[in-house]
Amino acid sequence: MNNSNVPSYPPFIVRVSGVWLRHFNVYSKSLFSNSLPPFLEPLIFLAGIGLGMAGYLPKMAGMPYLTFLATGLPLTAAMFVAASECSYGTFIRLEFDKVYDAMLAAPLSVYDVLIGEITWAATIGMFFSLVVVVVVACFGLVPMPASLLTIVPGFLTGMMFAVASLLVTSFVPNINQFNFYFTAFLSPMFFFCGVVFPIENLPHALRIAAEIFPLTHVVRLARCFDVLTLSPVVLWDLFYIIAFTIIIGWIAINRLRAKLIQ
């Protein structure tokens, strides 16, 4: 049989890497304006809240309060940057710039495009979590080199909030409605998922709610890496992270696939 007319496609990893590289090139052109807010926000919060409260709360969960905050804030940086990239960023590429239309004209499938999108968001989540760790480490607030392992939960944070944000994007008809996502979903997680204080201090009902939120599990995982101790709850955290990413990612990709092939 003559297969000379059968089109050949690049390997899957090459296709996804092409999407990742496109996002990297665009992002790096405005690197300063893109990177300054997610870099400064956790540091401003650390300075404003940490320095103010450290005198009243010298210890939190067996560690100085500034260290407690500094081990959680890198994950919030990863959360916000990945959520922004796959909500506002994806919506603009989808509805205004028509970037995906051009991508799908190339030898790329919808799955290639969206998996590349998720991988890119996970990468910048990992990058910003590392940057925050390095900066706070310069002030001696986190244990080194153990805290460099935060890049692992940073990457996982980026993946989880990438798929969650893609799911939200699949429902949102107007870009202004992302305000509800950031205000009603992301902001409560910042305060009730163990970043500012341990979830054990919450009422029972809120502790249950905190276990449902994805940020809780990566923050707890990061703190285990910081102190190089493992507890049985880490297995639950890993299971949650994997299940959340696969299930929400599958729903989000298939919903967006329906929009992209209309």
Question: What DSSP assignment string belongs to 111-141?
Answer: HHHHHHHHHHHHHHHHHHHHHHHHHHHTTT-
Whole-Å CA distances, 216 to 63, 155, 195: 18, 15, 8
In the chain, % of residues over pLDDT 90: 69
pLDDT score, position 228: 75
Q: CA nearest 38: which of 93, 66, 80, 9?
A: 80
Rounded to 5 degrees, what angle do the CA atoms 190, 31, 97 make?
Answer: 90
The pLDDT assigned to 232 comes to 86
Per-residue pLDDT for 17 more than 60? yes
Q: How does the average pLDDT of the chain come out, rounded?
A: 91
Q: Which helix (H) or strand (E) holds 4?
A: none
Average confidence (pLDDT) over 17-46:
89
Q: What is the pTM of this model?
A: 0.93
Query: What would the mean pLDDT of 88-107 be, rounded to a whole number?
Result: 93
CA–CA separation, 117 vs 109, rounded Å? 13
Cis omega (within 30 of 0) for bond into 7? no
CA distances (Å), 138 to each of 127, 131, 133, 239, in order? 17, 11, 9, 33
Residue 7 pLDDT class (50, 70, 90 cuts): low
Spatial separation of the C-alpha atoms in residues 125 and 115, rounded to whole Å: 15
Across-strand partners of 108?
A: none
Phi, psi of 64 (to 5 degrees): -55, 145
Domain spans, the chain: 12-260
Q: Give the helix/strand (H/E) hosting 52.
A: helix 51-53
